[in-house]
Amino acid sequence: MATLCKNCGHALVFDPAIQKVRCNQCGSTFFAEEVESESKKYVQDKKALSMAEVYGQNTANAVKEYLDCYIYTCSECGGEVMITGTEVSTKCVYCGNPTVVFSRISKQECPEFILPFAITKEQALACINKEIGHGLFVPDAVKHFTPESVHGIYIPYWIVDADRSEAAIIRKKTSNGKSSTITFHGRSGKMHLKNLPVDACTMLSDESSSRLEPYDFSKLVLFDEDYLLGFYSNSSDVTYGDLSRAVENRASKMFDEMMLESVKGGTKTIVGFRGSTAINPDVKYALLPAWFVTFEHEGKHHTILVNGQTGKVVCGLPIRKALFFTLLTITCILFAVLFSIIFYHIIYAMMSSYASRPRRHSSSSSNNSSGKIVVGLIAAGVVMAIAGVKKIKNVLAKLKLTQSSKTFNFTKKRQE
């Protein structure tokens, strides 16, 4: 069902730029709370039918990729709108009017809050171009990509407060030349988590959605379906058990990171722990905004996510591997030559200093100093190599999320 303009009768859409619903036909604008569709009470119990109910079981079985789809009739033009099993708002593929499936809102728990889009489609694309435009190793074809689709989607979240209590034993290994020392450290404490967002949609990767954070929850407003106009949205499809496990995992990971940071130096691992997470029963159900931008490069689909409130871009991009490894090799060679020159001059200076000293001085101090310099240079090289490996792993992890078929499938079923 679309909400119509009071002045001309055309469909209204929510405009993030002005934070109001707007009529594209006559230009009228209204606050979302000010408008109410007169036909809402007649269609709010109108349910979406399964594909099998509409076309018959045989047809539904033949189209396997749409087995989770339902058919909803557009109240404006009578066209059949295909939606997913959890979709709450969409657009009619025939007349283009925004459609809110009120039966999904009334029969499932209605969101308490919504964080309206603050970033427009054009601003989202500008954020992406700014993010990837200066990447040295990003192919030109990716820098100037043409979006296949751009969807503004409200993702359902449970926002929780929780308390984490944990005690752990940390094993630290400290290397000193050829020898190493192992020590054990005990840590325990409590942590309070406030407004922890947990993705409530199983169709979307938790890792992808968590990278969109943070959101500013001070901007949350009471839910009004008119904020959905012109955007897509899903309802929660997770159980309380799913929610509890997600909160437990995130709280445990955050607490472990803080405990490891409290033990300085060395290589640290947690070898044993006992902990628990208590969730405040007063959880909040809210819809949070995100832009999903898809494009294809070298036969692979990529999906870039943009926080619909802050403009934060979440993506990993293909790189020019030949250029990357060429520059990496050149850099390694230059550093090797530089280290060799520095080492030569230091040793030469030390030998000159030693030659000018009285003979009573032993050469052991000179050998020890040169040995420390060698160890220092090697250590510096190892640190650089480790940092490079971590950087590459991080890029590959982000690229894997960008190329995730789960994220792409979450987006592609939306109608244009």
pLDDT band, residue 203 (cuts 50/70/90): confident
pLDDT at 67: 40
Give the mean pLDDT of 214-241: 87
Question: What does the mean pLDDT of the chain come to?
Answer: 74
Give the mean pLDDT of 176-202: 88
Strands 29-30 and 49-50: unpaired
Whole-angstrom distance, CA of residue 293 vs CA of residue 121 = 10
Whole-angstrom distance, CA of residue 255 vs CA of residue 184 = 18
Task: Pick the range with the lowest mean pLDDT from 165-179, 192-206, 390-404.
Answer: 390-404
pLDDT band, residue 192 (cuts 50/70/90): very high
The CA-based angle 280-198-235, given to 5 degrees, is 105
Whole-angstrom distance, CA of residue 262 vs CA of residue 97 = 55
pLDDT at 59: 43
Q: Tell which residue, 216, 206, 205, has the closest CA to residue 309.
A: 216
What distances in angstroms separate CA 138 from CA 38, 48, 146, 172, 297, one per listed residue?
A: 51, 44, 15, 39, 12
Is the pLDDT reported for residue 39 higher than 60?
A: no
pLDDT at 387: 57
Each residue's pLDDT tens digit, 131-173? 777 666 666 666 777 777 888 989 889 999 999 999 999 999 9
Whole-angstrom distance, CA of residue 25 vs CA of residue 230 = 14
Q: Which residue has the higher pLDDT, 219 or 385?
A: 219
What distances in angstroms separate CA 305 from CA 5, 212, 290, 292, 398, one per listed residue?
A: 31, 7, 7, 5, 11
Cis peptide before 214 (omega within 30 of 0): yes
Is the pLDDT reported for residue 300 higher than 70?
A: yes
Helix, coil or strand: residue 52: helix
Whole-angstrom distance, CA of residue 156 vs CA of residue 235 = 6
Torsion of CA 69, 73, 77, 80, to 10 degrees: 30
Find the distance separating the first CA and the last CA of the chain, reported in whole Å.
17
DSSP assignments along 183-222, one per residue: EEEEEEEEEEEEEEEEE--TTS-HHHHHTT----GGG-EE
Long-range CB pairs of 18-27 (<8 Å, 24+ gap) are 19/116, 19/118, 21/226, 21/229
pLDDT at 211: 87
Backbone angles phi, psi at 248, to 5 degrees: -60, -45
pLDDT at 415: 52
The tokens describing 359, both together, are: 């003979």
Whole-angstrom distance, CA of residue 408 vs CA of residue 295 = 10
Q: Which DSSP state fits 360?
A: T
pTM, rounded to two decimals: 0.69
pLDDT at 83: 64
Is the pLDDT reported for residue 41 higher than 60?
A: no
Burial tier of 63 (Cβ tally within 10 Å: 0-12, 13-18, 19+): exposed
Is the pLDDT reported for residue 1 higher than 70?
A: no
pLDDT at 8: 83
pLDDT at 302: 79
Is the pLDDT reported for residue 105 higher than 60?
A: no
pLDDT at 388: 54
Those residues whose C-beta lies under 8 Å from the C-beta of residue 79, and which sit 6 or more positions away, are 73, 92, 93, 94, 95
Q: Which residue has the higher pLDDT, 2 or 202?
A: 202
Those residues whose C-beta lies under 8 Å from the C-beta of residue 105, and which sit 6 or more positions away, are 44, 88, 225, 235
Whole-angstrom distance, CA of residue 411 vs CA of residue 365 = 67
Q: What is the CA radius of gyration of the chain?
A: 29
Helix segments in 263-363, DSSP class H: 321-355
SS (H, E, C) 216-276: CHHHCEECCHHHHCCCEEECCCCCHHHHHHHHHHHHHHHHHHHHHHHCCCCEEEEEEEEEE
Angle between helix 321-355 and helix 364-402 axes, rounded to 10 deg: 170
Q: Which residue has the higher pLDDT, 216 or 392?
A: 216
Each residue's pLDDT tens digit, 337-386? 676 677 666 666 666 665 565 555 444 555 555 555 555 555 555 555 55
Whole-angstrom distance, CA of residue 33 vs CA of residue 8 = 19
